[in-house]
Structure 1
Amino acid sequence: MQAEHWQGRNMKSRFVSIYMLAFVACLAWSDGAYAEHSVSRGLQVLAEVETGLVGLAEHTLPAVVSISPFVPTGSVGTPESLRKRPTNAGAGVIVNGRDGYVITNAHVVKQAEKIKVTLYGGREFVGEVLGADEETDLAVVKVNSDEVLPQVALGDSSMLKIGQLVVAIGNPYGLNDTLSLGVISGLNRENINLSRYEDFIQTDASINPGNSGGPLLNIRGEVIGINTAIINYAQSIGFAIPSNVVKSVSRQIIEHGQVNRGWLGVGIENVPDDLALKENLEKGEGVMINSIFEGQPAHKAGLKVGDIILKIGGSAVGSPNGMIRLIGNVSPGQHIHLDILRDGKAQSLSVQLGHRKEQVEIASLQANPLPELGFDWSELEREVQGQEQDSDKKKEGVLVTRVEPGSSADQGGLMVGDWITSLNGQDVLNRGHFENILRQNYQRGSVSVTVQRAEEEVMLTLSKRE
């Protein structure tokens, strides 16, 4: 054990230094006056870089698994849900070899209780899905083994910086155990419309269908993200779920079989520019409440439409998605302190959060609550554009089915076939949810909607006509 520990530490320190040496070597290589010395030194450093990457692969590949549907031997016929899936649905990574816990994407194991887990080298196990969280697209699979399986540690994603080197491992297009090298291109990416709780790491490391659920590693061989999606129409743009999110979600799934999140019961949007100017708020400071769900925690605590939430539990709120994540990180039943701005005056309120699963969605109205807007809608499932090639992944929202010529909707640019994904900055969960927000906001004179049109996201403002 001591030898293994020393070897691990030695490998980590080597990974840290080799890339710095490579950079120095490249600078030296470009100086013609020392060409002969530079070539020799450059080749030496590149050889060290190569050795480091090989060591990284040898250390991590045994902990990366291939995940595919489990079909019992001798079964007659194949369930429709499995028939639609590719032979290699995705990847996963073992984070606890003693207990056999594997982290992957929720969409990789969707509609499956048991899956086939293939280890590096070909050994196969039947894994049990302990639980899946579609809100973050994470799932935990348990494998029962008589021996301790290889594992890799989860790193601290809060320490990541743009430009850091990363390695992605997965099974793109069924090519098992594929490794690709890149950098962190961006952090805290949101509004990608891939999941509800978005806080993605963006990378240019090559990620393709089949990489889903596989690890994104730093040069120390630590998992700093779980690869989740690509943008199909773009190149070198992939996204991973930060490891700190993975830690929190996987812990709850292992302990409770599900993720329990706090529920406030409000509709929110970015603070309008004119109001931000009036209140001397910086861009990205606070979010405004545009609707209150009656009987829910916010209503009971005395929050009002128009309140600007600046902080939650001392943490600054900068966007609707950011606030959703902060609330979701708090367990139901706990009290949180909100710092708000109401009519230009700072206030502090305490709110006891409820359970999201206990939220009673407002029933769909029999009639269009806003006929003056001039459009109708329906609730249908629709595939997410930009998600990896997994036809089972769906997006919530409402579909525009009719637009009256010359109406506010028509003049605002709304079109039949548009898929409304958010209203006044709040994700649309279903038709009843959409209509509830619409009813509570049309008195303000206008509403802003985000629609998905083909592969384009469009933001529109619909003004009520008097």
Structure 2
Amino acid sequence: MKKILGILGVAFLGGAMALGGYKLFFEQPIIVEQTSEPTLQTVKASYTPTVINSSSVPTNFTEAAEKTVHAVVHVKNTAIKEVYNPFEEFFGGNGRRKQQQVGTGSGVIISQDGYIITNNHVIDGATDLEITLNNRKKVKAELIGTDKSNDIALLKIDYDGELPYIPFGNSDNAKIGEWVLAVGNPYNLTSTVTAGIISAKGRDLDGNGITDAFIQTDAAVNPGNSGGALVNTRGELIGINTAITSRTGSYIGYSFAVPSNIAKKIIDDILEFGDVQEALMGIEYAPQEDQIQGVKISKVTTEGGAEKAGLQEGDIIKKVNNVNIEKFSDLRGQLTARRPGDKVAVTVLRDGENIEKVVTLGKKDYVEILELSLTLKDLTKSELKKHNIKSGAKIAKNLNPYLTHFGVKEGFIITKINKTIVVDALDAKRKLTAANRSNKPLFIEVINLSGQSERYAFNQ
């Protein structure tokens, strides 16, 4: 036993010695290194990042809607029109018969005593006007006056009690991107509110830079909304909804409104003068050039307000009363909102320098009666002296086939209408328009091209 243990001990000892020798003479030493990520240096700076408050309160339209929804009314117009049927005439009938046509739209109450503003095309040709208030009460309306060129009409209702109304805002202060509400009666529904933003201003729909200066919005406007209110978030009237651009007849993205400054001026003129007073600056303008922002004056009218103020041909109008002018429709909008005799500060660019002049706006010496296809002009002092008369109005253009048929020509001077003296062109327009709408016989006295007096009677 002792012998076996001795042999095992020698074997273990020999193995240990052999392993130690291998480690010492043959195997390279192994170096173990522990690595760690380097610590980043911290740099102190004074910059403080902006923190956006994502919990901000969204725009709330409830107050504006509550202020305006009860002041927008439904307008129903009834017109009696003559319809011609050639087949009925062919088989021995009369071929002509009267037919009742009904149209609808919206209107905005602008005073407690019942004045309502709407679009001219909503009430055009109407023989009967009915207003439905938001409380569903119905009342008859009277047409006070219209302006076809700007598509504005003024109505009046008599109502026992106070009426809600919308105050006018300043449409010049409206900004592109500003939230607005369109309030109206689409599809014969009671007052409906839609929201959008102002997409553009001074928009010219006819493409001629003259006719329109609309506010463009993406608030939904549909058939029946015409004549309704465009209001800001404070509930102020900044436009009268007038048109949509659509191939289907329904809203597809954009609508247009007459700015409130223009609408208010038209209403004020109708109430004070019975017609619109158009203000002129006394210039002719050059076609819009792509590289020019503003209106370039191509001609200054002799003795007009622009000439008296020192404006010159080639001047580029940049501002009117600090309102930027980029195209003629912008200028048109500023002039339409003002009266003859008003003074405006006009900034023009001349030889690279901005110059400000104060222009006194003049009066247009002619008026157009679109429904009668007539243009009338004020008489000059020499014309009054020549015919030994104190007042009257000259027919500058006559496209009315009925008057032409009976011998009324351009150049004739109208002195009386229904035995009442004609003061000027505007007075003649007012009298002729009233007579035409009354469907009563019309009597006019004129001085013909030979200087002789003639009288005409027309059954309407």
TM-score after normalising by structure 2: 0.54
- In the other structure, the counterpart of 1:354 is 362
Distance across 2 between alignment mates of 1:56 and 1:66: 19
Count, aligned residues: 302
Instruction: Quote the Cα distance in structure 1 between the aligned partners of 2:376 and 2:106.
Output: 39
CA 1:288–1:180: 2 relative to 1, 3 Å: same
- The corresponding residue for 1:261 is 278
| Larger Rg computed on CA atoms | 2
Correspondence 1:309 to 2:326: no
Q: CA deviation at 1:102?
A: 0.7
Match of 1:126 among 125, 140, 155: 140
Deviation at 1:68, TM superposition (A): 1.9
Using the alignment, how far apart are the partners of 1:203 and 1:115 within structure 2?
29
Deviations 1:162-219 (A, max 9, x none): 444433232323x221524221141314122299563333222221121100112344
Structure 1 residue corresponding to 2:328, chosen from 310, 316, 320: 320
Shift of 1:343: 6.3
Is residue 215–residue 225 contact of structure 1 (8 Å, CA) maintained in 2?
Answer: yes
Q: 1:63-462 to 2 correspondence within 5 Å? A: 63-70=71-78, 78-80=80-82, 87-97=102-112, 99-112=113-126, 115-173=129-187, 175-193=188-206, 196=210, 198-233=212-247, 235-269=252-286, 272=289, 283-284=292-293, 286-292=294-300, 297-298=305-306, 305-312=313-320, 316-334=324-342, 336=344, 338-340=346-348, 351-358=359-366
Report the CA distance shift for 1:291/1:22 in structure 2 as closer, same or farther (over 3 A).
closer
The answer (yes or no) to whether the contact 1:182–1:203 under 8 Å persists in 2 is no
Contact 2:278/2:339, CA 8 A, preserved across alignment: yes
Contact 1:61 1:177 in 2 (8 A): no
After superposition, the Cα gap between the structure-2 partners of 1:148 and 1:321, relative to the gap in structure 1 and judged at 3 Å, is same
Conservation of the 8 A alpha-carbon contact between 2:262 and 2:336: no
Q: CA deviation at 1:108?
A: 1.4
SS of alignment partner, residue 70 of structure 2? helix
Contact 2:279 2:339 (8 Å CA) reproduced: yes
Q: Which moved more, 1:234-243 or 1:327-336?
A: 327-336
State the Cα distance separating 1:256 from its structure 2 match: 2.6
1:61 counterpart residue number: 69
Paired with 2:233 and 2:99, the residues of 1 have a C-alpha distance of: 36
Give the whole-Å Cα distance in 1 for the aligned partners of 2:376 and 2:311.
Answer: 19
Matched position secondary structure for 1:96: coil
CA 1:339–1:101 in structure 2 vs 1: closer, same or farther (change >3 Å)? Answer: same
Q: Hey, what's the Cα distance between the residues in 1 that align with 2:359 and 2:219?
A: 42
Whole-angstrom CA distance in 2 between matches of 1:296 and 1:357: 12
Counterparts in 2 of 1:193 and 1:85: CA distance versus 1, 3 Å: farther
Computed over aligned residues only, the root mean square deviation of the Cα atoms, in angstroms, reads 4.0
Partner of 1:31: none
Q: Secondary structure at the match of 1:135?
A: helix
Whole-angstrom distance in 2 between the partners of 1:250 and 1:133: 9
Which amino acid in 2 is paired with 1:327?
Answer: L
AA aligned opposite 2:222: N
Return the offset for 1:332.
Answer: 1.4
Displacement, 1:231? 0.1
In structure 1, runs of 5+ residues without a counterpart are 1-18, 24-48, 72-77, 277-282, 364-378, 382-466
TM-score by length of 1: 0.54
- Output the CA distance in 1 between the equivalents of 2:299 and 2:278: 20
Matched residues in 2 for 1:156 and 1:345: separation?
A: 30
TM-aligned CA deviation for residue 227 of structure 1 = 0.9
Q: From the superposition, tell whether residues 80 and 91 of structure 1 become closer, same or farther in structure 2 (CA, over 3 Å).
A: farther
Change (3 A) 1:152 1:329: closer
Work out the CA distance in 2 between the residues paired with 1:330 and 1:153: 19
CA distance in 1: counterparts of 2:117 and 2:317, whole angstroms: 34
Do the aligned partners of 1:270 and 1:320 also contact (CA within 8 Å) in 2? no
Structure 2: gaps (5+ residues): 1-54, 84-97, 369-374, 378-397, 401-460
Is residue 213–residue 259 contact of structure 2 (8 Å, CA) maintained in 1? yes
